[in-house]
Chains A and B, each alone.
Chain A
Amino acid sequence: MNLFRFALDNLYRRPARTGLTVSAIALGIAAVVALTSIAWGFEASWQKANDARGTDLIVTKMTSENTMPSPFKAEKVQQTLAGLPHVKEVVGLLSEMLTVSNDAPPVFVFGWVYGSYLWEHLKLVDGRWPASREEPVVVIGALAAEMLHKKTGDQVEIEGRVFQVAGIFESSAVVENGALLMTLDMAQQVTDKPGKVNVLNIKMDADATEADLRSIKEQVKQTLPGFVAITSGELVSKNAVVRISKAMSNATILIAGLVGALVVFNTMLMSINERTREIGILLALGWQRGTIIKLIVSEAVILSVAGGVVGIVMGVGIAWGLEHIELMRGKIDAIFSMPFFFAVMGLSVLLGICGGFYPAFKAARSLPSAALRYE
């Protein structure tokens, strides 16, 4: 019988304790998987939305850390930016999180400059786009249409004004799929922010290089006090919600790691106390102390790997469930990857080794004569 089989048999012999230990580890790992995937997904979704639009640089207020930066008067800033070298297009974007139905949670309402490049990445699946800057219509993301139970031709009330649904679109970014879209002029009217935008999107021409982007960032810093030009990734990483969700995910990893290691430690310590005579017999039969350590650590690692596998499955399930509950739909987009799962399994193995090492060392130090006398 090899060592692995021996360790496995030891765990099978105490199914209740093994099951409880695996459950405790699995819960910790599930929390890590769910929270981390959602935190990364939240960041990735916003970045995907910005990247999909084809924006090279975003100009916003320097202190903005909210989900959407504070609105500002666009005209003068826009004129300055349009005059910078290699700048092809400068377009404003206004956004608010608004309640558009008493039966559904608030959704993002975006206002984009009519006819600008921002609209190009969207795929119209039904109806049509707004026909003019001032047309009081909205197009809604496929997910928002489903959540709000709206179809082309229906009406939605936004901030006391009635808009007709002109069409339904799909986007690669979940943030946009769960949003309502109208022209910037209409968004400014409905939110009472004439001439204001949250961000200005800059699209560079085909000849622009990384050096040109850096140069524009520097020129914005010099010529537009209070404003900053950043990439979409930089904007998203500054976002307070992204920062909080990442901090929560890191805290969960730390707590789940500590709890997991303590659970394994406690289980293995109880196990070797119960098996003192058994360990004494093994030592008396000539087992090396190193082999005893390997046996106990193997048991701990098997427990934590099993907990890791179950935890990953549970974590994926929790994240999927959260994505589909009414309150969160269209706002989170958990992302998973093989490297992430391998990292989680690595964490599980580490928990096993950390939690199992001391009990293993303690067992290996036993004297066979004393262990055989143990009742």
Chain B
Amino acid sequence: MMLRIVAAVLLCLLSGIDTVYAADAAASANAVAESMREAIFSEGFEARLNVFVTRASGAHPAPLKLAVIGQISADRQRLVIRGISPEAARNRSYAVERGSDGRIRGVESRAAGEQNEFDPYARMFDSGLVACDMLSPWWGWPKQFLEGMEQIDGRDCLKLRSMTDDEKSPIREVESCVDQQAKLSLKTRLFDSRHVLIRATTVGKVMRKGDAGTMAAKKLTIRDAAKMLTEIEVYAGDEQYEISADTFAALDKLTHNEQQKTK
């Protein structure tokens, strides 16, 4: 009888420890995700990218030059991805926004003021670039789990699994490997609801940001399920980019139209 009581007490204590440990792990996973979310806060930035695409067939379309302009805060994340060259990309831009409700929406603009809503989970410029990935919405998802340490190219990183039950999102699960010092995910794998890999992004080279002293990706590759390889290199940037009144005009117009419809 005595033995049973001792065993029961021990079991209770152990389950208690387990619960406390699980709670601590979840708390630290959330803290890592939160720190990643905050790391990209910016009143305005611009990055210019060289994008090289290799299709599954091995074909190489003309290299792209793109500008990514963004404004990221806790309440609202907005990006514009604008084509610089070649000619076919020049007059195209994609604006994407994630509001405080977590909803992501986008507008595609073409020459002569033609604007259409676009799927933020779709590819842009016929490359592996996806607007939603650039916003990394998974850092705000409620389920975050730490899964130990890994080393990528000699850099230690913390494995983190983020999950969502949002049925509107084609991405349900994300595996990241976070370099906590650099506040940078060195490897990101996105999965759908059936745990099928959608895309994997790997950082190849990092660079020190000019004034902040923190790190950012200089070279990265995106490999998607269709075996398209997209290599991206940041060749210029401005961490204090001045957002003008018309930078996000396409998104403002979309909001205005939505408000009109509601009325």
Chain B minimum-CB-distance residue to A159: B84
Within A56-105, which residues are at the interface with B (CB < 8 Å)?
Answer: 61, 63-64, 66, 69-73, 96-99, 102
Interface of A is mostly: loop
Q: A72-B240, A97-B235, A160-B65 are in contact. Are A63 and B46 (CB under 8 A)?
A: no
A196 within 8 Å of B by Cβ?
yes
Q: What separation, in Å, do the CA atoms of A189 and B238 have in the docked complex?
A: 14
Q: What separation, in Å, do the CA atoms of A194 and B242 have in the docked complex?
A: 9
B177 within 8 Å of A by Cβ?
no
In the complex, what residues of B have CB within 8 A of residue A54's CB? none
| Cβ-defined contact, A96 with B210, below 8 A | no
Chain A minimum-CB-distance residue to B239: A70
B193 within 8 Å of A by Cβ?
no
A106 within 8 Å of B by Cβ?
yes
A150 within 8 Å of B by Cβ?
no
Q: A61-B211, A159-B85 are in contact. Are A102 and B63 (CB under 8 A)?
A: yes
In the complex, what residues of A have CB within 8 A of residue B84's CB? 159-160
In the complex, what residues of B have CB within 8 A of residue A70's CB? 210-211, 238-240
Q: A70-B210, A160-B85 are in contact. Are A96 and B236 (CB under 8 A)?
A: yes
B58 within 8 Å of A by Cβ?
no
Within B216-263, which residues are at the interface with A (CB < 8 Å)?
Answer: 235-236, 238-242
Q: What separation, in Å, do the CA atoms of A66 and B238 have in the docked complex?
A: 13
B136 within 8 Å of A by Cβ?
no
Chain A minimum-CB-distance residue to B46: A192
In the complex, what residues of A have CB within 8 A of residue B67's CB? 192
A238 within 8 Å of B by Cβ?
no
In the complex, what residues of A have CB within 8 A of residue B48's CB? 159
A191 within 8 Å of B by Cβ?
yes
In the complex, what residues of B have CB within 8 A of residue A196's CB? 238
Within A237-291, which residues are at the interface with B (CB < 8 Å)?
Answer: none
A120 within 8 Å of B by Cβ?
no
| Cβ-defined contact, B65 with A159, below 8 A | yes
| Cβ-defined contact, B211 with A157, below 8 A | no
Q: What separation, in Å, do the CA atoms of A251 and B242 have in the docked complex?
A: 42
In the complex, what residues of B have CB within 8 A of residue A66's CB? 210
Q: A63-B211, A157-B85 are in contact. Are A71 and B238 (CB under 8 A)?
A: yes
Most buried by A among B48, B90, B239: B48
Chain B minimum-CB-distance residue to A102: B63
Chain A minimum-CB-distance residue to B236: A96
Chain A minimum-CB-distance residue to B83: A160
In the complex, what residues of B have CB within 8 A of residue A72's CB? 240
In the complex, what residues of A have CB within 8 A of residue B50's CB? 99
B213 within 8 Å of A by Cβ?
yes
| Cβ-defined contact, B235 with A98, below 8 A | yes
Chain A minimum-CB-distance residue to B90: A160
Q: What separation, in Å, do the CA atoms of A98 and B85 have in the docked complex?
A: 13
Chain A minimum-CB-distance residue to B86: A160
| Cβ-defined contact, B90 with A106, below 8 A | no
A193 within 8 Å of B by Cβ?
yes
Q: What separation, in Å, do the CA atoms of A366 and B65 have in the docked complex?
A: 74
Most buried by B among A73, A97, A191: A191
Contact of B235 among A69, A99, A160 (CB under 8 A): A99
Q: A98-B235, A99-B235 are in contact. Are A63 and B63 (CB under 8 A)?
A: no
Chain A minimum-CB-distance residue to B67: A192
Q: What separation, in Å, do the CA atoms of A63 and B214 have in the docked complex?
A: 12
Within A99-137, which residues are at the interface with B (CB < 8 Å)?
Answer: 99, 102, 106
Q: What separation, in Å, do the CA atoms of A102 and B90 have in the docked complex?
A: 17
Q: What separation, in Å, do the CA atoms of A317 and B188 have in the docked complex?
A: 46
| Cβ-defined contact, B235 with A106, below 8 A | yes
| Cβ-defined contact, B210 with A63, below 8 A | yes
Q: What separation, in Å, do the CA atoms of A63 and B211 have in the docked complex?
A: 6
| Cβ-defined contact, B236 with A191, below 8 A | yes
CB distance from A100 to the nearest CB of B (A): 11
CB distance from A67 to the nearest CB of B (A): 11
Q: What separation, in Å, do the CA atoms of A70 and B238 have in the docked complex?
A: 7
CB distance from A212 to the nearest CB of B (A): 29
Q: A61-B211, A102-B63 are in contact. Are A193 and B85 (CB under 8 A)?
A: no
Q: What separation, in Å, do the CA atoms of A96 and B238 have in the docked complex?
A: 11
Q: What separation, in Å, do the CA atoms of A191 and B63 have in the docked complex?
A: 19
Q: What separation, in Å, do the CA atoms of A76 and B213 have in the docked complex?
A: 25
Closest 6 CB pairs of A and B: A70-B210, A160-B84, A160-B85, A160-B90, A63-B211, A70-B211
* 10 sample A-B contacts, Cβ–Cβ < 8 Å, listed by A number: A61-B210, A63-B213, A70-B238, A97-B236, A98-B236, A159-B48, A159-B85, A160-B85, A192-B238, A194-B242
Binding site for B on A (CB under 8 A): 61, 63-64, 66, 69-73, 96-99, 102, 106, 157, 159-160, 191-196
8 further interface pairs, Cβ-Cβ under 8 Å (given A72-B240, A159-B48, A193-B238):
A64-B210, A64-B211, A69-B210, A70-B210, A70-B211, A98-B235, A99-B50, A102-B63
